[in-house]
A and B are shown apart, each in its own frame.
Chain A
Amino acid sequence: MSEIRSELKYLPSHEWARVEEDGTVTIGITEHAQDSLGDVVYVETPEVGATVAAGEEAGVVESVKAASDIYSPVTGEVIAVNESLEDEPEQVNSSPYDDGWFFKVKPTDIGELDDALDADGYKAAIEDE
């Protein structure tokens, strides 16, 4: 069974979101997602300063096997991207919840995350796949 962290919020499209102490939101893909994709070879993150919208495409992750769109769970301005993924995309496989994060957003409405799944809801969603 893939690791699902209780403190995170999830989208059915396999992104996770973590609300940081400063109110920003960090976004990545789940253990289950990286396992399904296999070896990740490229990550395309949004640019710092760009605006992303909840439920809209914000990037792409490409593995040896397939390409997959990344959706943002919240609306807001991108304030940081994980530049180390450019040279070491394999961090998405080895550390999807920590070193393999994708980008960080300053949300306009943190309440949008109420629509996301909690750990139990995500667990149920992937069991149904």
Chain B
Amino acid sequence: MGNRTALYQCHVDAGAKIVDFGGWDMPINYGSQIEEHHAVRQKAGMFDVSHMTVVDVTGNDARAYLRTLLANDIAKLDTHIGKALYSGMLNEAGGVIDDLIVYHLDGWYRVVVNCATRDKDLAWMAQQSEGFDVNLQERAELAMIAMQGPNALALAKQALPAQNDLIDSLNVFCGKAAGDWFIARTGYTGEDGLEIMLPEADAPAFWQALSESSVEPCGLGARDTLRLEAGMNLYGHEMDETVSPWQANMGWTIDLKDTERDFTGRAALEAQKAAGVPTKLVGLVLRERGVLRAEQTIIVEGSNATGVITSGSFSPTLGFSIALARVPADAEGEVIVEVRKKRLPVTIVKPNFVRHGQSLV
């Protein structure tokens, strides 16, 4: 038996198929992953993401510490209380230890990192805090529910009448505390929606209320196809400690503007940029029958260098297969993928396939 979230029994009662995910017993689907996927694109779905790791960073040096720890610069958030920032947390070699979201709250910060990387993240964050006056506190007692889809905000307001003003006031990528709840307009699907952190004791009743107001429970299976269509990275697939943000379509999260800011991994990133980044992360589209899968090989005609699919699946929204892939930096246009002993032509596209229910390819 793995770790269980406060919502585990809700999942079992709803007929979820439970799988191990990073040491947690989590729902992969409640029947049909494709129907759950469509619910998020067309209406509203909800995910139990309580397994993710929340760490609050407080103390006099919280800002200075995070400016050293992260490749993106939280100084961007100085004048925006509640605003969130996406960033990589890098090692000295410029490889990605994890990707995370950090919220700037009043005088402190909330960081959300991945569950599978929890132990090494916490160890790294503690080690890097040496010399800073900061306090790192894991908030394992918080549950987290992501509500996503075009109807998500309206249904959240229906379920939380006392929070209507707060929800209305939330700009995209911003969050606010409401007592011991924290409501943020963020997500991992390419749709509008909220991520709500709340005390574990409150979670089952809230989940039940959402379920009764037609928010579809969705498993990690749909979460993966939704994030893939949205071109969002998954740690361990699109990037890891051997891959720099330049190679993972995360160049926009590297902030080099303040030349005085010597964040961990900066020197390596600048050196790699100067030498030429050898690979890039792209999107792939397969119009023929077949499904692209992680670890399939990409062949670029006229080149000895090959690429590799980092994540691939059938796209329920588009009706054909899509993938994210790391390819040689100069690859473009048509390339070949080896799919189950067959060589199929695929097209390189921007790694962004669906946004707000609309096809981008």
Contacts and interface: CB of A to CB of B under 8 A. Distances in A.
A64 B312 CA distance: 9
Contact of B34 (A64, A66, A67): A64
B176 interface: no
A40 to B, nearest CB: 10
Contacts of A62: 290-291, 314
Interface in B306-348: 313-314, 316, 340
A67 B293 contact: yes
A65 B220 CA distance: 11
A93 B290 contact: no
Contacts of B290: 42, 62
Given A64-B221, A67-B293, A41 B340 contact: no
Interface string A38-76: 110110100000000000000010101111000000000
Interface size classification for chain A: 10 to 19
Contact of B340 (A38, A39, A60): A60
B34 A39 contact: yes
A38 B314 contact: no
A67 B289 CA distance: 13
Nearest to A60: B340
Interface string B260-297: 00000000000000000000000000000111010000
Given A38-B29, A41-B291, A42-B290, A65 B221 contact: yes
B314 A64 contact: yes
Which of B32, B291, B293: most chain A CB closer than 10 A?
A: B291
A67 B314 CA distance: 11
A64 B34 CA distance: 8
A64 B293 contact: no
A39 B33 contact: yes
A39 B32 contact: yes
Nearest to A41: B314
A41 B289 CA distance: 9
Contacts of B313: 64
A64 B289 contact: no
B68 interface: no
B291 A38 contact: no
Contacts of A60: 340
Contact of B289 (A38, A39, A42, A90): A42
A28 B300 CA distance: 37
B198 to A, nearest CB: 30
Contacts of B221: 38, 64-65
Given A39-B34, A60-B340, A62-B314, A67 B29 contact: no
Interface string A62-105: 10111100000000000000000000001001000000000000
Nearest to A43: B289
Given A38-B221, A41-B291, A44-B289, A64 B33 contact: yes
B176 to A, nearest CB: 36
A60 B289 CA distance: 12
B244 interface: no
B33 A38 contact: yes
Nearest to A86: B289
B258 to A, nearest CB: 44
B225 interface: yes
Contact of B32 (A42, A65, A67, A93): A93
Contacts of A90: 34
Contacts of A66: 293
Nearest to A62: B291
Contacts of B33: 38-39, 64-65
Contacts of B291: 41-42, 62, 67
A62 B29 CA distance: 17
Which of A39, A44, A66, A93: most chain B CB closer than 10 A?
A: A39
A98 B225 CA distance: 29
Contacts of B340: 60, 67
Interface string A1-45: 000000000000000000000000000000000010011011010
Nearest to A36: B17
14 contacts: A35-B17, A38-B33, A39-B32, A42-B289, A42-B290, A60-B340, A62-B291, A62-B314, A64-B313, A64-B314, A64-B316, A65-B221, A67-B340, A90-B34
Query: Shortest 9 CB-CB distances between A and B: which pairs?
Result: A41-B314, A39-B34, A62-B291, A39-B33, A64-B314, A64-B33, A42-B289, A38-B33, A39-B32
Given A42-B290, A60-B340, 4 more contacts: A38-B33, A41-B34, A42-B314, A90-B34
